[in-house]
Amino acid sequence: MKLNDDARFSTICIHAGQEPDPSTGAIITPIYQTSTYVQEGLGQHKGFEYGRTQNPTRMALERNVAAIESGIAGIAFASGMAAIDAILTRLESGDHVLVSDNTYGGTFRLFERVRRKFGLCFSYVDSSNLDLIAPAITPRTKYLFLESPTNPLLRITDLAAASDIAHRHGVRVIVDNTFASPYLQRPLELGADIVVHSTTKFLNGHSDSVGGIVVVRHADDEEWMRFVQNAAGAILGPMDSWLVLRGTKTLDVRMERTNANAMALAEFLAGHPKVTETIYPGLTSHPQHKLAARQMRGFGGLISFDTGSIDAATRLLGRVRLLALAESLGGVETLISHPAVMTHASVPPERRAAIGISDGLVRISVGIEDVDDLKADLTQALA
Ligand SMILES: Cc1ncc(COP(=O)(O)O)c(C=O)c1O
């Protein structure tokens, strides 16, 4: 299937990277569940030697997501964390990474508890304030690691402007695009150098696989990431690759409904007397609403809101029936979670308080159910 150079987003999602299976014509890339490939003679093979090194299902997914994110290559890993860790392996002891201060708790834990031991240095900056970025860059800074919107406070960084600042200092820009998904924004088009995803979330979209992918735009990054994928071996398996490949086919329509549902729920929560604050980039009350409207195509599926106290949050979470109390996000089902106790438990309490993650804060990952059913469940649970 030859895609035109001007193929549009949903067409790319459905077709990029995939050809009908050469042996049968199957329209869907098969799950090549094999660990090795028989060679015709010594040194004679079809480009496939061993399952860690090459797998046709994984390679189809990698081509697909690379096209969706406008990169030159995708490199898929066993989880989002494995993908982020692989990016760090390009660095040397003593190198410094400047990180969005509201980064995902697991990323913070990897940086502080694992990679710091190996001599990497990390510091944290409110990257939504562009003035703070340049002063935080040191002669050893190699990466600016951004999340936008951040989890769970949904702060937005101007990705094009932040990339400009970093590049002026010779620093490469990594964007964790998990929260937004490439439907909302494509950071490589805005100047970033590497995009990383937990494919577990919107790309897979069905809460049935854990995975990660790195998408690059420079040949040297591709070369290293492919090398380390094979050398360290944290590959995405064929079954999970297939599930994500199936998921990206519906990314466009899922995100369209997700955006609409989330906007309606955010407005509902903002007007609810038991909610003290609603954080959603689509609300004009969001301090960076204009930037979000300019940078993103829609405002995404995550809403955070303050119930005022841990007791109120606990009551709400105990009473929801349709919304599922669970970590993760980006699936077709609506999930509700408590950042301080769940996703951000690995962030020390004083740091949580400093960045604004209160004990009453609740986060919703909005799914694609009928929004009136979601409103009804929240209405009874908040009553
Ligand atoms: C923004 C973000 N990045 C990375 C990850 C890690 O991904 P995984 O759970 O697939 O390892 C998560 C997981 O929640 C996330 O929310």
Model confidence pLDDT, tens digit, residues 201-211: 999 999 999 99
Q: What is the pLDDT of residue 92?
A: 98
Interval between CA 58 and ligand 1 midpoint (Å): 19
Q: What is the pLDDT of residue 323?
A: 98
Q: What is the pLDDT of residue 356?
A: 85
Q: With a cut of 80, say whether residue 227 has pLDDT above it.
A: yes
Q: What is the mean pLDDT of residues 87-116?
A: 95
Q: What is the pLDDT of residue 1?
A: 64
Interval between CA 366 and ligand 1 midpoint (Å): 17
Closest Cα to atom 9, ligand 1: which residue?
Answer: 80
- The residue annotated as part of the active site, out of 85, 176, 240, 306, is 176
b (16+ CB within 10 A) / e for 321-350: ebbbeeebbbbebbbbbbbbebbbeebeee
pLDDT tens for 148-196 read 999 899 999 999 999 999 999 999 999 999 999 999 999 999 999 999 9
Spatial strand order in the sheet of 324-325: 277-279, 302-306, 361-365, 335-337, 324-325
**2 falls in which pLDDT band (50, 70, 90)?**
confident
Interval between CA 303 and ligand 1 midpoint (Å): 17
Atom from ligand 1 closest to the CA of residue 328? 14
To test ligand 1's pocket by mutation, which of 146, 185, 201 has the most ligand atoms within 8 angstroms of CB?
Answer: 201
Interval between CA 272 and ligand 1 midpoint (Å): 30
Closest Cα to atom 6, ligand 1: which residue?
Answer: 80
| Residue 50 appears among annotated catalytic residues | no
- The residue annotated as part of the active site, out of 52, 90, 297, 375, is 52
To test ligand 1's pocket by mutation, which of 79, 81, 329 has the most ligand atoms within 8 angstroms of CB?
Answer: 81
| Residue 183 appears among annotated catalytic residues | no
To test ligand 1's pocket by mutation, which of 178, 236, 363 has the most ligand atoms within 8 angstroms of CB?
Answer: 178
Backbone CA torsion sign across 144, 117, 340, 343 = positive
Interval between CA 328 and ligand 1 midpoint (Å): 8
**Neighbouring residues of 283: CB distance < 8 A, sequence distance ≥ 6:** 266, 267, 270, 289
pLDDT tens for 18-42 read 999 989 999 999 999 999 999 999 9
Pocket around ligand 1 at a 6 A CB cut-off: 79-81, 104, 106-107, 147, 151, 176, 178-179, 198, 200, 210, 212
Q: What is the mean pLDDT of residues 296-324?
A: 97
Interval between CA 81 and ligand 1 midpoint (Å): 6
Burial of residue 219, with CB atoms counted within 10 A of its CB: 0-12 exposed, 13-18 middle, 19 or more buried: exposed
Q: What is the mean pLDDT of residues 224-234?
A: 98
Q: What is the pLDDT of residue 347?
A: 78
Q: What is the pLDDT of residue 11?
A: 98
Q: What is the pLDDT of residue 178?
A: 98
To test ligand 1's pocket by mutation, which of 77, 79, 104 has the most ligand atoms within 8 angstroms of CB?
Answer: 104
Q: What is the mean pLDDT of residues 126-130?
A: 97
Closest Cα to atom 7, ligand 1: which residue?
Answer: 80
pLDDT tens for 268-307 read 999 999 999 999 999 999 999 999 999 999 999 999 999 9
Average predicted confidence (pLDDT) for the chain: 96
Q: Which amino acid is at 262?
A: A
Q: What is the pLDDT of residue 105?
A: 86
pLDDT tens for 339-349 read 999 988 877 88
- The residue annotated as part of the active site, out of 32, 104, 124, 183, is 104
| Residue 280 appears among annotated catalytic residues | no
Closest Cα to atom 15, ligand 1: which residue?
Answer: 104
| Residue 220 appears among annotated catalytic residues | no
Q: What is the pLDDT of residue 154?
A: 96
Interval between CA 145 and ligand 1 midpoint (Å): 14
Q: What is the pLDDT of residue 284?
A: 98
Interval between CA 150 and ligand 1 midpoint (Å): 12
